[in-house]
Structure 1
């Protein structure tokens, strides 16, 4: 069994759009009220009842609240209960120290609500459109870009800068066969987003750089607008639209790249990178100010623009679906190590793109050499010291079919 999520663009009527906003607003209110109760009144609640605040207790109070207020009862009860479950899960994650303390939900940022799968129904209209029946809302059309498979666990309605979307959470029966495809090492970088041990290089679309410049200009325009004015709202929508478009382009490229790699290789070896630590600010403190703060800020922005972490996440589940494996190795000195003799010398990397070993004279693209080192660290050098010849797995990769250049855009983005 595997879990998958499919997202589709909704096409609601004006009346349904108002209902979406009403549902999202009431669910946001329930979440914030429950958060306030847990945060500010848990001691008084314990003294009065003898036990702490939990989801069952808040669900019982929600029933009383719906009985007293018709405008809350007008919204289906399941999304409100799901909001309480989200808060309960947020507290559990905080208690386990895997997430921060829950924060209030805000309009414009948390416009979302969720139904259980047994409460909804879907039907296909034609080759391009389908519709879904939502309780107390009715049948809503959505752009059908991929078939739904498996059992629907729940559906989430959310608002983005380009309109309302629906996300289906599915459980699919699947049995992965043994994957006997070759292994590959991948070096993640800034100049080249992905560099493979086969010699291939993949980079995110160049259009993201143009959109980044447009977004910066739009943000400067937004900073000059008066908060609360119509011009401020229009400029804010402009910034949000550009940011969302960049995210969609980046996510589409990551999906296509990870799908291509999971289809061609059975084992993928990458560096164990801590992106959050790598993109920390260098500004320091008043007593000990940082150095090269502006340069470090630009590097952080470039790293985050590549989307290393989301690529790793997508590649992991796509490999698992096809019986493959994603492995991580230590990242230290991969750019300074020779993939042939194993010598480590910072002078071997002449510049960003060129690697010439000072010991054996081996020449290669610097990122490709690092990818080969990453691959070998999961084979021979995990058992013996670095400095041995390339493993059999690496030589097999060198003989694999070569694919150069970036991926072509897919017609409908199916992965």
Structure 2
């Protein structure tokens, strides 16, 4: 059973945009009321009713609220119930230590609402466009860049800096089978974002650099506007739109690369990198503080531009098996003789072993070392100690 999401940009008219804003506002209200009830009034609710405050109890109170308030009743009940389910799931994840506790939602930030798949209909109008029917809203046109496959399970409408989008989730999709054999090592870098142990490099699309220059220029324009003015708000929206397009291009590239790797190799070996720690600021350093901070800021920006963590997350749910290995000295170790020497790494691209003279691309050499570590069995400390005792001379 395969699941897949299809995202399209909607083209609503003014009346439909007002309906979208109303749906998002009511779902935000339901979320905030339910969150406040869980935070501050759960003891009173438990003492008064004798029941725990969970999704079932809050869905029952939502029915009473819809009977009393007209503008809440005007919005689809399924969307409001999905907001309560999302809140309940967020609490469950937080209690398991998988994330933070949910927070209050603000207007204009992550506005969205979700419908059940059985209530959504999708039709193709012509080669470029299609339309989707949503309960209490009607038919909305959208740019249908690819056909749907499988059975629709849900549809989420969300507001982004690039406009209103709909994400349609389907299951039982026709997906090409991924590989289950062969192993590859993957080195993540900055100059070369991804290098495989078989010598295949993956480079970022040139569009990202172009969009980055546009975003910097738009940010300079916004910095000259008066804060709080309409021109400042317009300039900020332009910056957000460019950054959102940049993120979309990066995510599309990451999906294409990870899918290509997962279809060729069943096991993927990567380094155990802590991207969050690696991209911390260098402020507060003693030696040449201004220069160090500027250099570290540039390195952080380059790492985040590639999206190391995003690539790792995609590999984990696409590849048949992912192995994480110790990243220490992978770029200083010779993949031919195993000698470790920092002088062997001549520059960003060249590796020349100081022991055996082996020459290779530095990223390719590191990817081979990563592959070797993934294929080498790990000996537990207790087993290692027992072996040492047995091998000691009598």
* 2-structure distance, mates of 1:375, 1:126: 48
Deviation for aligned residue 1:380:
4.2
Question: 3-state SS of the aligned residue for 1:122?
Answer: strand
Deviations 1:8-52 (A, max 9, x none): 111222211111111111111111111112122223333333343
**2:292 is aligned with 1:334:** no
In structure 1, the residue matched to 2:44 is 44
**2:346 is aligned with 1:346:** no
Deviation for aligned residue 1:78:
0.6
Spell out the pairing of 1:88-167 with structure 2 (5 A cutoff). Answer: 88-167=88-167
Question: 3-state SS of the aligned residue for 1:118?
Answer: helix
In structure 2, the residue matched to 1:212 is 212
Mean alpha-carbon deviation: is it higher for 261-270 or for 8-17?
Answer: 261-270
Deviation for aligned residue 1:188:
0.4
Deviation for aligned residue 1:235:
1.0
Deviations 1:199-240 (A, max 9, x none): 232221233234223323433433443444211220111111
In structure 2, the residue matched to 1:369 is 365
Change (3 A) 1:363 1:113: same
Question: 3-state SS of the aligned residue for 2:20?
Answer: helix
In structure 1, the residue matched to 2:7 is 7
Spell out the pairing of 1:79-94 with structure 2 (5 A cutoff). Answer: 79-94=79-94
Mean alpha-carbon deviation: is it higher for 15-24 or for 34-43?
Answer: 34-43
In structure 1, the residue matched to 2:22 is 22
Unaligned runs of 5+ in 2: 380-394
Mean alpha-carbon deviation: is it higher for 53-62 or for 203-212?
Answer: 203-212
* 2-structure distance, mates of 1:355, 1:115: 55
Spell out the pairing of 1:271-286 with structure 2 (5 A cutoff). Answer: 271-283=271-283
Change (3 A) 1:88 1:180: closer
Question: 3-state SS of the aligned residue for 2:319?
Answer: helix
* 2-structure distance, mates of 1:57, 1:134: 27
In structure 2, the residue matched to 1:199 is 199
Query: Is residue 283–residue 291 contact of structure 1 (8 Å, CA) maintained in 2?
Result: no
In structure 1, the residue matched to 2:300 is 300
* 2-structure distance, mates of 1:250, 1:173: 24
Deviation for aligned residue 1:359:
1.3
Deviations 1:330-371 (A, max 9, x none): 212111111011111112112211111111111111111001
In structure 2, the residue matched to 1:390 is none
Change (3 A) 1:99 1:120: same
Q: Aligned Cα RMSD in Å?
A: 2.5
Mean alpha-carbon deviation: is it higher for 5-14 or for 121-130?
Answer: 121-130
Change (3 A) 1:296 1:55: same
Question: 3-state SS of the aligned residue for 1:301?
Answer: helix
**2:385 is aligned with 1:355:** no
* 1-structure distance, mates of 2:45, 2:293: 48
Query: Is residue 5–residue 167 contact of structure 2 (8 Å, CA) maintained in 1?
Result: yes
* 2-structure distance, mates of 1:3, 1:274: 29
In structure 1, the residue matched to 2:374 is 378
Question: 3-state SS of the aligned residue for 1:90?
Answer: helix
In structure 2, the residue matched to 1:235 is 235
Question: 3-state SS of the aligned residue for 1:130?
Answer: strand
* 2-structure distance, mates of 1:25, 1:237: 20
Q: Which has the higher contact order (CA 8 A, sep 6+)?
A: 1
In structure 2, the residue matched to 1:396 is none
* 1-structure distance, mates of 2:176, 2:9: 30
* 1-structure distance, mates of 2:176, 2:259: 15
Query: Is residue 5–residue 168 contact of structure 1 (8 Å, CA) maintained in 2?
Result: yes
Deviation for aligned residue 1:173:
5.7
**2:245 is aligned with 1:245:** yes
Unaligned runs of 5+ in 1: 384-415
**2:185 is aligned with 1:189:** no
Paired positions, count: 378
Query: Is residue 150–residue 174 contact of structure 2 (8 Å, CA) maintained in 1?
Result: no
Query: Is residue 192–residue 203 contact of structure 2 (8 Å, CA) maintained in 1?
Result: yes
Deviations 1:92-114 (A, max 9, x none): 11111111121111222221000
* 2-structure distance, mates of 1:339, 1:381: 17
* 2-structure distance, mates of 1:146, 1:278: 38
Question: 3-state SS of the aligned residue for 1:378?
Answer: helix
Spell out the pairing of 1:256-275 with structure 2 (5 A cutoff). Answer: 256-275=256-275
